[in-house]
Structure 1
Amino acid sequence: MNTALTAFDLARLQFAFTISFHIIFPALSIGLASFIAVLEWRWLKTGKAYYKDLCLFWSKIFAVAFGMGVVSGVVMSYEFGTNWSGFSSFAGPVTGPLLMYEVMTAFFLEAGFLGIMLFGWQRVGPRAHFGATLMVALGTLISTFWILASNSWMQTPQGFEVVNGQVVPLDWFKIIFNPSFPYRLAHMAIAAFIVGALVVAAVGAWHLLKGRRDAAIKKMFSMALWMLLVLAPVQAFVGDQHGINTREYQPAKIAAIEGLWDTEKGGTALNLFGLPDMQAETTRYAVSIPHLGSLILTHSWDGEIRGLKSFPREDRPNSTVVFWSFRVMVGLGVLMILMSLVAWVLRRGDRLYESKWFLRFVVAMGPTGFITLLAGWITTEVGRQPWVVYGVMRTVQAVSPLTAQQVGISLMAFVVVYFLVFGTGVYYMLKLMRNGPTPPGHTPDVLPGNSPDHTARRPLSAADAMIDAA
């Protein structure tokens, strides 16, 4: 059996690698931008210095995440032309304008106000600065809107026709507000806020374990846990609605997620555990609960869910992958809900800041937002296969006419450069987090670059700590 990877396989692997690196940075910057806006609003309203301390601290980390997100995003835009020219030629009349709208609205908004947010503390008034911070936060959300509109159209396409082998837009309202868009937008936006809240909570817990008990540390820790208490259950509800939508428009994806091969009459069981085997068309070692699949996915006792065998082999997603990626996402989501409920109980007992076992748990949960985010996107994108535009264009038709050697060399280069550049960026953010907010009595008046004799030019200029170990 020939196991050599083809140019198509390597192109898919390269895109999966680059998008996995890219998505973690915008998700963090979306969550932090809104958090910083709330902190600055509280500072203007109360005048309490620790809110400004937190603004200055998290602005540094936001600047690094934003810079890394922009760099990694530019690479992906080139990939569409180099590795996926078939897709660009076919779907460009839809995806091109959507991405252009993102640049013309969100990116320009962010770029226009980012400098004021990071370096304008001494150059504009407090209200004008707060307005700039709000515009940056709004820009990150508008960017999410357009990116999710493009991706959702690829998942549930409508509002177009195919003429001479190319998509022709007919109704932009239908294209943007396609059937899965509202659910994907809400799911992704909430996920970004949860990612940010988990990072903030973990940093607060780490400093509490190190003995800091000042107001800034307690406040960011408390605010993050309140956010998780609200958003984690809401995300579960949105995910449930998203699943129902997916069952209607992408039934093969649902069957693959559940490891369901046969259409069960009178109610569908839920496979809690198992090993889907694509060749044997079965889920081995399945541990199932009768009727639970119907209750979750149809909200009825005997709702019917189509099995994978009802779809042609060439139209089936890889159940082995999405079965487990989905369970990683859901399992960690349940842990997030549990953590926020425990925090609420400890808060009522006045033990929130002193329970060391819980603080260690929160620190350990810090990276789970990113893991859950990646698991969710793996479920979404692998579950769409073998289609790049669902039901319209197959992924194999989208790839550029390249050789395996060409794609393999570029993939190896990406791996080396990405781990070097973005690994350094992650290390630097961790270093900033370890240093923590400025202790009471040592609050700087300005961020780096705000002094009269220095004009900052890049977002990363806002992070002033040396990258080597202190």
Structure 2
Amino acid sequence: MNDSDWVLVIARTQFALTMGMHITLAALTLGLAPFLVWFEARWLWGKQQVARDALHFWLNIFSLTVAIGAASGVVMEFQFGTHWARFSHQVGGVIGPLMFYEVLVAFFLESALTGVMLFGFNKIRPGIHFAVTCLVAVGALLSAFWILAANSWMQTPVGFTRNENGVFLAESWRSILLSPSFPWRFSHMVVGSLIAVAVLMMGVAAWRLRHFKGESASRLMLNSALTLLLFAVPLQIVLGDLHGENTRDYQPAKLAAMEGSWRPPAQGEGEPLRLFALPDQQAQRNHLEVSLPALGSLYLRHNLTGHIKSLSEFPAEAIPPVLPVFFAFRLMVGLGLIILLTTLTANLQRWRGRLAASGQLMRWMVWLSPAGFIALLSGWVVTEVGRQPWTVYNMLRTAESVSPLSFGATLAIFVAVLLIYVLAFALGLHYLLRRIKGELPSGQPVVIELKTPH
């Protein structure tokens, strides 16, 4: 590869790194904010000290996440000017206003009100504080709205024209905001964030209940997380299916890469469900494929004989990298099924009054803590890598979007960003683990003995 090829690889790697870390933080704030509202409501209207302890336990974690997330978001968006200047020049008329509103919401609503929520707990009236907490949750949702509207437009671009220089001009902001993939991408991300946080909270609560026997705040956390998961995980399966149908209609090459489908099945046969394979992009075939005949058509076309477009129907230069998309999709789905089975098992034990005595299940929930975020990041690998080789799907190639930087400058920026992000996230993770293992903010752990019914 020449220097320009290496610049593209480094620029893409840096954006993937910063985006992945930022999405993790954004999902944590988006999914945790409704829990803060729930705990504070339980404390205000139920006068439950246990709810106040749960609220304070997660409030400092939430605030730290917002602070690091805001900083990481600035670095991420600066890349549009440093590494992706050609993209910004051509698409700035559409993406610029959407990113501006996202930054406006993130800094002036979410971040500012988080400070009030954190430091104003005993300084403003409880009702006003609760209103601030609700506004923070709304701010997190609005921030996700703007960023996902921008991303969805890049995936399924509509409502624009291009001038003689190839610059994108907004023609219908309503169409841009409600691009064909936006409703499913937005709802899938919101519910995915709730699931990721609920799985994390479930694991944290399980760990604390094993080390602080019967701690009432942790029991409330665990019950709240398990109740939400019971509804959110089945909903996410439905949303994922609808999102998949949208991908089939608007980004068929991405869906073919997800399925590892190089050629259409024989006439009269359905799409196989490929459980495992090693996609070989150069040979355009799969090695070591393990599949179940026709079952792929069941979730792809909702019958046993329907087909999707195969990768052989697209030009070689328009096919995304198949191997990472193929495996990321299976990792996401596999973790989702594991979370579903764990949710059903834990809720069943809870209803029987045996959850506190289920040592192996409680240990398993601790180990499962990061699974929701891993599944969420896997989904974003499918979304972003599956869109390649385009930044604006079928309109602007990634290779045509990168800035004309030198190899040395690109590498120096990458190393600096990598060091800063690793340091920031290492310190944040260290604080998170200390918080999880420490006492409740109100003082000594509040303990209520849990007895298994005879």
Q: Do the two structures share a fold, i.e. TM-score over 0.5?
A: yes
The 2-side partners of 1:396 and 1:106 are apart by 30
Map of 1:271 onto structure 2 = 274
Match of 1:171 in 2: 172
Tell me how far 1:243 sits from its aligned partner. Answer: 0.5
The answer to whether 1:114 aligns with 2:117 is: no
Q: Which residue of 1 aligns with 2:63?
A: 63
Q: What SS does the corresponding residue of 2:194 show, helix, strand or coil?
A: helix
Q: Deviation at 1:343?
A: 0.7
TM-score, L = length of structure 2:
0.95
Q: What amino acid is the match of 2:117?
A: M
SS of 2:356's equivalent in the other structure is coil
State the shift of 1:115 in Å.
Answer: 2.3
User: Equivalents in 1 of 2:63, 2:221: separation in Å?
Assistant: 18
Matches within 5 A, 1:435-454: 435-438=438-441
Q: Distance in 2 between matches of 1:79 and 1:112?
A: 24
Measured after TM superposition, the shift of residue 339 of structure 1 is 0.6
Pairs aligned (count): 443
Residue 448 of structure 1 corresponds to none
The C-alpha deviation readout for 1:205-228, integer Å capped at 9, x for no partner, is 101111421211111111111111
CA displacement, residues 113-154 of structure 1 (integer Å, 9 cap, x when unaligned): 222211112221111110000000110001111110000000
Conserved in 1, the CA contact under 8 Å of 2:206 and 2:362?
A: yes
Letter in 1 for 2:179: N
Asked whether the 8 Å contact 1:86–1:400 carries over to 2, the reply is yes
Query: In the TM superposition, what is the alpha-carbon distance from 1:106 to its structure 2 partner?
Result: 4.9
Q: Which residue of 1 aligns with 2:407?
A: 404
2:13 aligns with 13
Distance 1:135 1:77, change over 3 A: same
Taking the aligned partners of 2:206 and 2:439, their CA distance within structure 1 comes to: 11
What whole-Å deviation, never above 9, does each CA across 1:151-172 have from its counterpart, x for those lacking one? 0000000000111220010000
Per-residue deviation, residues 26-50 of structure 1 (Å, max 9, x unmatched): 1111111110011001111110111
Q: Is the 8 A contact 1:388 1:395 kept in 2?
A: yes
Contact 1:207 1:436 in 2 (8 A): no
**Given residue 89 of structure 1, which amino acid in structure 2 is its aligned partner?**
H
Structure-1 residue corresponding to 2:451: none
User: 2-side partners of 1:324 and 1:432: how far apart?
Assistant: 34
SS at match of 1:384: coil
Matched, 1:281 2:284: yes
What is aligned with 1:326?
329
Q: Counterparts of 2:103 and 2:177 in 1: how far apart (Å)?
A: 16
Secondary structure, aligned partner of 1:6: helix
Q: 1:409 to 1:45 in 2, by over 3 A?
A: same
Provide the C-alpha distance between the structure 1 equivalents of 2:410 and 2:235, rounded to a whole number of angstroms.
Answer: 41
The secondary structure found in structure 1 opposite 2:386 is helix
Q: 1:184, 1:242 within 8 Å by CA — same for their partners in 2?
A: yes
1:170-189 Cα shifts (integer Å, max 9, x gaps): 00010010000000000100
- The aligned counterpart of 1:216 is 217
Distance 1:384 1:11, change over 3 A: same
**Contact residue 391 and residue 401 of structure 2 kept, 8 A:** yes
Post-superposition shift, 1:313? Answer: 0.2
* Offset, 1:2: 7.8
1:68 Cα deviation (Å)? 1.0
| Contact 1:107/1:139, CA 8 A, preserved across alignment | no
1:293 matched residue in structure 2? 296
User: 1:189 maps to which residue?
Assistant: 190
Mapped contact 2:3–2:407 kept (Cα < 8 A):
no
SS state at 1:286 partner: strand
After TM superposition, the score normalised by the length of structure 1 is: 0.91
Amino acid at match of 2:37: A
Matches within 5 A, 1:452-463: none
1:131–1:275: structure 2 CA closer, same or farther, 3 Å change rule? same
C-alpha distance in structure 2 between counterparts of 1:304 and 1:378, whole Å = 24
How far apart are the structure 2 equivalents of 1:76 and 1:348?
Answer: 45
Change (3 A) 1:346 1:83: same
User: What do the CA deviations read for 1:315-360 (whole angstroms, capped 9, x no partner)?
Assistant: 0011111000100000000000001000121112211122110111
Aligned to 2:358: 355
Match of 1:44 in 2: 44
Structure 1 partner of 2:239: 238
Q: Which residue of 1 aligns with 2:452?
A: none
Query: Residue 162 of structure 2 corresponds to which residue in structure 1?
Result: 162
Structure 2 stretches lacking a partner, 5+ long = 447-454
**How far does residue 112 in structure 1 lie from its aligned partner after superposition?**
4.0
Mapped pair 1:369 → 2:375: no
Question: How far apart are residue 254 of structure 1 and its match?
Answer: 0.5
- Tell me the residue number matched to 2:434: 431
Give unmatched runs, 5+ long, in structure 1: 444-470
